[in-house]
Homo-oligomer: A and B are copies of this chain.
Amino acid sequence: MNRKTLIERREALENLLKRRFFIAPSFEIYGGVAGLFDYGPPGCALKSEVESFWRRHFVLAEDMLEISATCLTPYNPLKASGHVDRFTDSMITDIKTNEYYRADKVLEEYVENRLKEKSSNPPKSEEEKNELETLGIKAGSMSIDEIKESLNKYQIKPPSGGEWSEPYPFNLMFRTKIGPKEVEGKNDSVGFMRPETAQGIFVNFKRLYEYNGKKLPFSVAQIGLGFRNEIAPRNGLLRVREFQMAEIEHFIHPDRKDHPKFDDVALKCLPLYSSKTQLNNGEIERNITLKEAVHGEEKIINNETLAYFLSRTYDFLISIGINPDGIRFRQHLSTEMAHYASDCWDAEVLTSYGWIECAGHADRSCYDLLQHSKATKTDLFASEKYDEPQFKTVLVLTLNKPLIGKTFKQEASLVTEALQEIANKGDISFQEKLNQSNKALLKYKSCENGKEYQWEISSEMAKFEFQTKKVTEEQFTPGVIEPSFGIGRIIYCLLEHSFKIREDLSEIQDQSTGNKNTNNSPDNEMQRSYLSLPALIAPVKCSILPISSNAIFNDLINLLHKSFINHGISCKVDTSSASIGRRYARTDEIGIPFGITIDFQSVKDDTVTLRERDSMKQVRISSSEVPSVISKIINQQITWENVLENYPLFTQQSNE
């Protein structure tokens, strides 16, 4: 697994993907639209197989609830979730040409140019080199002011040589109008295309919690479209404006994030790339068990549930055919994470474009449920009844609301929130400070806007006292752990990993005539490349190829085709006049794992040859057995090796 090979092969792969219509630019005959791609027949079937296996691997096997919410989303929920205000990229415009750019990409490109080999302007010192590296890493999470400062500091100019505009935020959501009525100045009719499927799950929390018999933890999954109005879409399927996502929201008690099935995975080692390792420029760690990672001294992974999902994701990626050597789990640096998140790991896959995030695993804490609960004044909490009522000592807060209101005015409700949080934590130290000097400094980071506040509180304003109360149940806002998958990215990575070029070309020898294929036409190149997609998710499972277009084969072709359909197995009949070798090559190209050849022998004794794509080996097998054998391989009940053991190897078609 190395990036250089992937880069070398990229053009040939992209060629194949376009030529065999895996994907193509949407509305190509109209000139296309940046960031929009259509899946053609093999691409669409591959996507559908990957989704269907995702559903089996996660929803079915983990007993998740799956829902399907709408893409159209009104203003208010996205205001509450923070997307209206903060789902932005910083843009800058070249004042001279009116061309717009993503500010972080401009900075990253600048860094790349300075640091590359043979740079015309290499860093002048080790210190400057480090500074540039940090700039490159931080560019994506910088504020407008920081961007401005960096553009100034390094005197970065647009390609035209002109001047940059001030950086400004650009909201990435597609905006529309719902209904025919427009009320001026109101957001009632404003709608957006959802930027993630997650919010559709959060707003349904109450119904879902009830559906699950009011028991925690539970997971809710959703497969569906997300939309982002990217400023500069690029890299084919990797940054697009409309994309299929598969998301899981796992609701859990915020203080008990253990997982009942953690023991099943505790001794597994995943390729972990922790934030600490990243900051130390270390290597991916492959020998730490998940048990050590969660419960060891360093506590690399925040909790068992997060670790359990990382392991499930790893299994998923490998099952569909991603090379394990090209997978790593990269922990977010604390500067990268959303302010409310407590831990975050991306499953990244090595591609010709570098390491690409394919699935995120974020601990979103209680943030979203709290926000929707506040915005709608709805209770979005779970409760657990104690077996018997308990007497609990709780810290009770008594407030002097008029005084707080008078003193802090607009910030009064934030102050109250901050004090209540201290009480909820049972932290008496603040009262002790008040006792000492009749006043104390209250620091608070708002969950809503991420801002930090600091107030001076006097002992007249608030009083904390321990009291013993009889409690019958505990009520709490569940925490949320979110594994979130980008299906398009996964498919692109999968295609890069399964793109192979055949060294052994003997098969292209025309078997029906015995002549070597000496054709040097341009499509000789394509005959050698193939996609080694696992049968589990291959877009088409098998091909049926009569040795010639003789009508004598038609009955058997139809019989086999029907039998495959009845087994729910997709198959493609190719009766064209090309040689068998050439037709194999064509089916290899779109990743069909099995080929069935019907020859003159078949008509006599009802046997056919069954060929496996990767090994190119063939066995002779009775035509009535072949659908169930292929079905068993697809469902991972047997392997191709089992087939080789049980059926006679076949070498040459008779052309009699």
Contact = CB atoms under 8 A, between A and B. Distances in A.
A522 interface: no
Which A-B residue pairs are the 8 nearest by beta carbons? A41-B65, A39-B68, A38-B69, A44-B68, A29-B376, A174-B176, A29-B378, A36-B70
A388 to B, nearest CB: 18
Interface in A27-47: 27-30, 33-34, 36-41, 43-45, 47
A207 B68 contact: no
B229 A179 contact: yes
Contact of A180 (B21, B207, B231, B378): B231
Interface residues of A, number: 78
A372 interface: yes
Nearest to A38: B69
A206 B174 contact: no
A47 B29 contact: no
A211 interface: yes
Contacts of A210: 21
B21 A48 contact: no
B66 A44 contact: yes
Contacts of A76: 27, 30
Interface in A56-89: 56, 60-61, 63, 65-74, 76-77
A395 interface: no
Given A28-B203, A170-B180, 10 more contacts: A30-B77, A33-B74, A36-B70, A37-B70, A39-B68, A40-B65, A41-B208, A52-B52, A60-B570, A176-B176
A72 to B, nearest CB: 5
Contacts of A39: 67-69
A584 interface: no
Contact of A225 (B65, B67, B207, B225): B225
A24 interface: yes
Contact of A26 (B52, B60, B70, B193): B70
Interface string A164-198: 00000010001111111100000000010100000
A242 interface: yes
A207 B71 contact: no
A375 B27 CA distance: 12
A73 B174 CA distance: 12
A38 B180 contact: no
Contacts of A176: 174-176, 193
Contacts of A60: 565, 568, 570
A91 B242 CA distance: 32
A134 interface: no
Contacts of A65: 40-41
A430 interface: no
24 contacts: A20-B211, A26-B69, A26-B203, A27-B73, A27-B203, A28-B204, A30-B74, A30-B77, A30-B203, A38-B67, A38-B69, A39-B68, A40-B211, A41-B211, A43-B68, A60-B565, A60-B570, A72-B227, A72-B241, A72-B242, A91-B180, A178-B241, A179-B229, A180-B229
A204 B24 contact: yes
A570 B55 CA distance: 11
A385 to B, nearest CB: 14
Contacts of A77: 27, 30
Contacts of A444: none
A514 interface: no
A100 B227 CA distance: 31
Interface in A375-399: 375-376, 378, 380
A213 interface: yes
Contact of A66 (B41, B67, B204): B41
A405 interface: no
A326 interface: no
A68 B91 contact: no
Nearest to A213: B576
A236 interface: no
B68 A33 contact: no
A495 to B, nearest CB: 15
A579 B565 CA distance: 43
B38 A179 contact: no
A220 to B, nearest CB: 8
A140 interface: no
A123 interface: no
Contacts of A177: 174-175, 229
B376 A30 contact: yes
Interface string A469-484: 0000000000000000
Contacts of A69: 26, 38-39
A395 B207 CA distance: 70
A426 interface: no
Contacts of A627: none
A200 interface: yes
B56 A203 contact: no
Contact of A67 (B44, B70, B72): B44
Contacts of A375: 30
Contact of A68 (B20, B47, B231): B47
A77 B26 CA distance: 11
A70 B565 contact: no
A193 B70 CA distance: 13
B38 A211 contact: no
A210 B200 CA distance: 40
B29 A372 contact: yes
B34 A179 contact: yes
A506 B553 CA distance: 59
A592 to B, nearest CB: 14
Nearest to A69: B38
A72 B174 contact: yes
Nearest to A380: B29
Given A41-B67, A48-B66, A100-B180, A74 B570 contact: no
